[in-house]
Structure 1
Amino acid sequence: MDVKQLRALLAIAETGSVTRAAELLHIVQPAVSRQLRLLEEDVGTPLFERGRRGMDLTEAGRILANHARRALHELDQAKAEIAPSPDVVSGSVTIGLLPSTSDLLAASLVIHLRELYPRLTVNISVGFGGYLQQWLEDGEVDLALMYEPKPSALLETAPLVDETLYVLGLPDKDLSLQGELALSAVAELPLVLPALPHGVRSLLDRACSLADLHLNVIAETNAMNVQKSLVQSGIGYTILPGVAVFDDVAAGRFAAAPISKQAVHRKIVLAQALTRRSSIAVRCAATELRALIKRKLEQGAWPGATWLDD
């Protein structure tokens, strides 16, 4: 039993197909089939059975897949704790950031990584959570910050930040940073929101569904600057995390009020693909990104957020 076999197991479990697993792992299909066959010979029992939707894990397969995720996580964690010398960290790493976090993190992260590892090339990709998850699974980014993603056997996630969400309106609206709003009050407001499958919209829709409420959405846009522009035009309100609104509130351009965290809040996680070997460059970038976020919170530069990874 080796790491390649465990990654093949998880890829087949997620995709339900040896063919799609091979595409995901960027290797030929016979290699995946061989790794599965060797793994089944090693444990002495079938790990998959044919179902209506493709290959389904057997009970033995489910047990092994759960242990495989933990084993791969522990291996990556051990490698992350072994600090390499700067001169051996080279190549490139692509980091995915959410639009609401990119202004706060991108420049500091690139500068810090370049100072620590001069031979490392850092690429930043910015996108919404659904796109980041797809890019991560497709190998277009090496690690990414995202809202809690939909469950996937292909991803390893570590919760980092819990964020309060804020209603943003014009300065003359009855909004205060000290005045928490119930979800029922938020649902009655004329709202400018991103469309599904945007993470914040999904959170709000799920919370309203559980509370038997309906959002009053009057316009949809997936561009944060357009959300703010439409609010500034006076047609309604929008909902954003604190990191995206506090400068505007301090400058007097908008007013804001927090939504009750009992009703809705979002967690940001650091995600990596379990199906790919984590390079030294990726592990170093992940360590520094985690440390940078913690420093930003300690400095008060990320309003409305609390650190989770301790």
Structure 2
Amino acid sequence: MELSQLRTLIHVAELGSLSKAADRLHIAQPALSRQVRLLEEELGVRLFARHGRGMVLTEQGQEILKHATRVMTELEEMRAAASETGAPLRGQIAIGFPPTVADIVSVPLVASFGQAHPQAELRLVAGYTGNLIDWLHRGEIDVAVLYDPHAARSLRSQPLLLENLFLIGPPDAGFSSDRAVTFKQLDGKRMLLPSVRHGLRTIVEHCASEAGIALNVVVEADSYATQKDLVRHGHGWTILPLPPIHEDIAAGRLTAAPLVDPVPVRRLVLSYPADRPAPRLARFAGEAITGIVRDKVERGIWAGQLLG
């Protein structure tokens, strides 16, 4: 039994398709098929049931997958224990963030690396969660902060924060942190929101549905900087987390109010690929990001409930 076979099992189980797993891992499909077949022969069980739409784990396959995931996790912990040292590190590290997280985390993160590992080369990448997951799998980034990822067996994730979303308006909207707005009060209001492919839009639409209203979205803009500018110029309201607009609120350029009935929240996690060991620089990045998030929450800059 080889680690490459366990890695293949994890990815095929998650994607339900040899062709998709081959594309993700940059390995020819026949080679992956052979790895699955050899693993089944060695274990003496069928791991997958094949059908027209792809591959589904059998009952035995589900049990084997649990063990495979544990093996990869134990391997990572063993390598981490063997490489612990306090010496400054060199090398390159690529870290991924959603845009709303990048602006609030990047400066203190770079400062942390400058103090502990000044010779390390950082590459900070912003993107949507779906893109970040794909880049993690392809090895283009080493660690990422993700919003509400679907259960992914090929990722090793630790929860960071349950983040509150706020209603954002121009100064004359008069929003205040001590005066909540219900979702029903958004009925008929001009809203400026991300497109439907964006996770934040999904959360907001779900909350509106719970409140029994349909949002009046007059402009879709995936750039939160664009959303801020449009709101500031009086074209409507938007819904965002506090960190990327903290300075705008302090300067009086925008106002914010908590939303209730229901309260919109997003789950923020820190993720590494589960099928390969995380470099020491990636582990340091994860520790630094966790500390930055905690600090921002404790100082009231980031509204939400710490999960880590």
TM-score by length of 1: 0.88
In 2, the alpha carbon distance for the partners of 1:211 and 1:62 equals 39
Contact 1:86 1:118 in 2 (8 A): no
Identify the residue that residue 302 of structure 1 maps to in structure 2. Answer: 301
In 1, the alpha carbon distance for the partners of 2:190 and 2:63 equals 48
- Summarize the Cα distance change of 1:202–1:133 in structure 2 as closer, same or farther, 3 Å threshold: farther
- Pairs within 5 Å for 1:90-105: 90-105=90-105
Identify the residue that residue 205 of structure 1 maps to in structure 2. Answer: 205
Identify the residue that residue 164 of structure 1 maps to in structure 2. Answer: 164
What one-letter code is carried by the residue in structure 2 that aligns with 1:53?
R
What one-letter code is carried by the residue in structure 2 that aligns with 1:164?
N
TM-superposed deviation, 1:54: 1.5
- Summarize the Cα distance change of 1:88–1:171 in structure 2 as closer, same or farther, 3 Å threshold: closer
- Summarize the Cα distance change of 1:186–1:133 in structure 2 as closer, same or farther, 3 Å threshold: farther
Deviations along 1:243-281, one digit per CA (max 9) or x if unpaired, are: 122321221112210112843111111122223332233
TM-superposed deviation, 1:5: 2.3
In 1, the alpha carbon distance for the partners of 2:90 and 2:136 equals 21
TM-superposed deviation, 1:145: 0.9
In 2, the alpha carbon distance for the partners of 1:257 and 1:154 equals 38
TM-superposed deviation, 1:48: 0.9
Q: Are 1:15 and 2:15 an aligned pair?
A: yes
Identify the residue that residue 122 of structure 2 maps to in structure 1. Answer: 122
Identify the residue that residue 146 of structure 1 maps to in structure 2. Answer: 146
What one-letter code is carried by the residue in structure 2 that aligns with 1:140?
E
Name the count of aligned residue pairs. Answer: 308
In 2, the alpha carbon distance for the partners of 1:251 and 1:21 equals 49
In 1, the alpha carbon distance for the partners of 2:32 and 2:88 equals 31
- Summarize the Cα distance change of 1:96–1:86 in structure 2 as closer, same or farther, 3 Å threshold: same
In 2, the alpha carbon distance for the partners of 1:180 and 1:156 equals 36
Structure 1 residue runs of 5 or longer lacking an equivalent are none
- Summarize the Cα distance change of 1:170–1:81 in structure 2 as closer, same or farther, 3 Å threshold: farther
TM-superposed deviation, 1:167: 0.7
Structure 2 residue runs of 5 or longer lacking an equivalent are none
Deviates more, 1:191-200 or 1:268-277: 268-277
TM-superposed deviation, 1:63: 2.1
Q: Once superposed, what is the RMSD of the aligned Cα atoms?
A: 2.4
SS of 1:259 mapped into structure 2: strand
In 1, the alpha carbon distance for the partners of 2:211 and 2:156 equals 31
Deviations along 1:102-143, one digit per CA (max 9) or x if unpaired, are: 222112212312432244221100123233233223332221
Contact 2:94 2:124 in 1 (8 A): yes
- Pairs within 5 Å for 1:71-90: 71-77=71-77, 79-80=79-80, 84-87=84-87, 89-90=89-90
In 2, the alpha carbon distance for the partners of 1:95 and 1:221 equals 25
Contact 2:96 2:124 in 1 (8 A): yes
Among all aligned residue pairs of Structure 1 and Structure 2, give the percentage whose two residues are the same amino acid.
35
- Summarize the Cα distance change of 1:63–1:100 in structure 2 as closer, same or farther, 3 Å threshold: same
In 2, the alpha carbon distance for the partners of 1:119 and 1:127 equals 26
In 2, the alpha carbon distance for the partners of 1:78 and 1:187 equals 55
Deviations along 1:167-199, one digit per CA (max 9) or x if unpaired, are: 111222242111112222234421101112212
Contact 1:160 1:307 in 2 (8 A): yes
Contact 1:80 1:287 in 2 (8 A): no
- Summarize the Cα distance change of 1:251–1:118 in structure 2 as closer, same or farther, 3 Å threshold: closer
TM-score by length of 2: 0.89
Deviations along 1:6-64, one digit per CA (max 9) or x if unpaired, are: 21101111233334323322344454334323422343201012112112211111222
Contact 2:157 2:272 in 1 (8 A): yes
Identify the residue that residue 179 of structure 1 maps to in structure 2. Answer: 179
Identify the residue that residue 135 of structure 2 maps to in structure 1. Answer: 135
SS of 1:218 mapped into structure 2: strand
Identify the residue that residue 242 of structure 2 maps to in structure 1. Answer: 242
Contact 1:102 1:126 in 2 (8 A): yes
Deviates more, 1:278-287 or 1:4-13: 278-287
SS of 1:270 mapped into structure 2: strand
SS of 1:214 mapped into structure 2: coil
SS of 2:171 mapped into structure 1: coil
TM-superposed deviation, 1:218: 0.8
- Pairs within 5 Å for 1:214-229: 214-229=214-229
